[in-house]
Structure 1
Amino acid sequence: MKEFDIIKNYFLSRSYQRKDVQLGIGDDCALTTVPEGQQLVTTTDTLAESVHFPKGTSGRAVAHKALSVNLSDLAAMGAEPAWISLSLSIPEYDEAWLRDFSLCLQELTDYYSIQLIGGDTVQGPLSITITAQGFVPQGQALMRSKAKPGDWIYVTGTLGDAGLGLELLQTEKAAEPMHRNYLINRLNFPSPRLMVGTTLRRLATTCIDLSDGLKSDVQHILFASQTGAVINVEQLPLSEAMLATVGKDEGIRYALTAGDDYELLFTVSEEQKGSLEVALANCNVSATCIGRINGVQEKLELQRGDKPYQLPETGFQHFS
């Protein structure tokens, strides 16, 4: 099947339609309108086979993850998603894989009211690039540079599950079938915390999504804000599946260093702490306080109880 037939059969006919799109798929460019009083937020992520997902991963899982990691970036800015562009590189025409990929993409774009407005399809190594765009009210975008000494550090959900899920796929590590399925699904089907992101607009001082591991990602906030932090590893939220499979000590290591969780890490002032906990009750997502920002520039201290905690590993980095 030729490129334009693939676009027509798998993507054009299944695209959610938004009123703020004047011209979508089918021309050289798309034409869209940003609502008055809103800022446009744009992010791009690429997922490559054997780098971001194992060879043989289903089309459904690849589509879910490819879109979710972009929506997670929008969530970290407090944005609501609107449009996506898709660049798809596939080694050959595979009807079953493309059907699963496009159907999952359709389900998610329908669910989040997002329109696919353009992109490209080429023959080559399996790789998916999505550019996602959304809106945030003028001046309300969450950034990494506003943390202040005394702010509390929170994370949503549980940490390290995706990293352990990847290890279960790549090694002979044992796990109960129920826990194995849960952990692998956390890798393949992350949940972008969009509702949490919009809730945090007027409450959080900074926010970032956790893609490369907590220990690495929190450093981005410390660098941008020129602050330090203390994190108590005893407070890191670990799932039942994590604890049952590797125990707490190993669970802490996964929580600090494993990537692909796509939870949100954010900071909140002392004055907003009470309001935060009330607001998050409506999001049906747990959030755990794990530490506090201090004035020691760009220094991250890990503690376990009242003692220093040493962990030499860092999160994932390309080209390292």
Structure 2
Amino acid sequence: MPDAKQPRGEFSLIAQYFSTLDKSSDVVLGNGDDGAVLQLKTGEELVVSVDSMLEDVHFPRNSPPADVAYRAVAAAASDLAAMGARPLAMTLALSIPHADDAWLSDIRSGLSDAVSDFDLPLVGGDLTRGALSLSVQVMGAVPSGQAIRRDGARPGDLIYVSGSLGDSAAGLALIEGRLTGDVQAADALRARFWRPFPALDLGVSLRRQATSAIDVSDGLLADLGHIAEASKVCVYVDSALIPLSQALKSVVSTEQALSWALGGGEDYRLCFTLPESVPPPEGSIRIGCVESGSGVRCDAAGEIDGYRHF
């Protein structure tokens, strides 16, 4: 992050870079007061989630600020997709070492793209001085009783994912210089890391159909473990069914691609279970089934584990 030219106050920075991203029919009162005011439709419930991203933990130092901002919002919005919630609004707690106009302008650009792409107006937050981090709280709405939870999977259900897996882990390896590949494939994989696109429309369409859902953030097997635990079932994953992109297969071995697909995380795809009688949404890929028992079974799991903070 570039050095600041001169010190300025928190509120002037907020007014300059973050004050006009709060427009939506669901927003009664946006930025500028002690709190935002949102309106729910009759018969709706509120869904709330928060995600934090820290420099050198979730993204490398000196990363492109617009991409950092977009990725932070996408990661948080992916939780709304997993719950089947329509987006309402978000808040951002941003900590920065110092204020730099060019850097903040790029952050605003990434936020503006995310506001538009995910229909998530920025209605408030906080700006502080400190180590670079972004904490995004997202709010969504679901009809009463229709939130998709983790505890509804039943033996006999089939397991699906919304797209290819492992691309984000490969993208990070390319960004950090641990991997090389042809230009077209490398660009596609880096884009999957920097600009994931949460399956918000798919999540809404799965209300009253999916018995459980989760977004793939910590790694497919780790995230399915949460469904298995909450639903008190065993989930079986067939490695031969795992979708791998052509870009990923062109830069690493099949073994490495599968390892990243099962444990790499941060793909922000939707993983969900459906009764066998329910036709899957177009574009979804079946990867396994739900069985009686507990835990996660996968023929290729080996030592694969998901992301752990501690």
TM-score by length of 2: 0.95
Matches within 5 A, 1:217-296: 217-272=223-278, 274=279, 276=280, 280-281=281-282, 286-296=283-293
1:9 aligned to 2:6?
A: no
1:311 aligned to 2:302?
A: yes
Q: Distance in 2 between matches of 1:110 and 1:158?
A: 24
Aligned residues: 303
Deviations 1:120-161 (A, max 9, x none): 101110000111101111111100000000000001110011
SS in 2 for 1:204: coil
Tell me what 1:306 maps to.
none
Cα shift at 1:245: 0.8
CA contact (8 A) 1:16 1:110 kept: no
Q: Distance in 1 between matches of 2:244 and 2:137?
A: 31
Identity of aligned residues (%): 38
> More displaced, 243-252 or 262-271?
243-252
Cα shift at 1:55: 0.7
SS in 2 for 1:147: coil
SS in 1 for 2:52: strand
Deviations 1:179-229 (A, max 9, x none): 111111111111110011011112111000000101111000000000002
Cα shift at 1:174: 2.1
CA contact (8 A) 1:16 1:106 kept: no
Q: Residue 152 of structure 2: which of 146, 151, 167 is its match?
A: 146
Q: Residue 302 of structure 1: which of 278, 298, 306 is its match?
A: 298
Q: Residue 195 of structure 2: which of 179, 189, 194 is its match?
A: 189
Cα shift at 1:30: 1.7
> More displaced, 91-100 or 166-175?
166-175
Q: Residue 165 of structure 1: which of 159, 167, 171 is its match?
A: 171
Tell me what 2:4 maps to.
none
Tell me what 2:214 maps to.
208
Q: Distance in 1 between matches of 2:167 and 2:233?
A: 28
Deviations 1:266-289 (A, max 9, x none): 0000111x2x2xxx33xxxx2110
1:42 aligned to 2:48?
A: yes
Deviations 1:64-88 (A, max 9, x none): 1011011100000000101111111
Task: Tell me how large the CA RMSD over aligned residues is.
Answer: 1.2
Q: Distance in 1 between matches of 2:53 and 2:301?
A: 32
CA contact (8 A) 2:221 2:262 kept: yes
SS in 2 for 1:270: coil
Tell me what 1:96 maps to.
102
Q: Distance in 2 between matches of 1:107 and 1:15?
A: 10
Amino acid at match of 2:154: K
Q: Residue 135 of structure 1: which of 131, 141, 151 is its match?
A: 141
Q: Distance in 2 between matches of 1:19 and 1:121?
A: 26
Q: Distance in 2 between matches of 1:188 and 1:310?
A: 27
Structure 1 residue runs of 5 or longer lacking an equivalent are 304-308
Amino acid at match of 1:300: V
CA contact (8 A) 2:22 2:31 kept: no
Structure 1 segments, 4+ long, off by >6 Å, are none
Deviations 1:88-141 (A, max 9, x none): 101111211111111221232134332221111011100001111011111111
Amino acid at match of 1:20: D
1:72 aligned to 2:83?
A: no
Amino acid at match of 1:313: I
Give the direction of change, closer, same or farther, for the CA distance of 1:16–1:232 in structure 2 (3 Å limit).
same
Amino acid at match of 1:7: I
Tell me what 2:60 maps to.
54
Deviations 1:246-300 (A, max 9, x none): 122221111111011000100000111x2x2xxx33xxxx21101000001x222
Deviations 1:155-186 (A, max 9, x none): 11100111111112223422111111111111
TM-score by length of 1: 0.92
Q: Distance in 1 between matches of 2:89 and 2:73?
A: 11
Cα shift at 1:310: 4.5
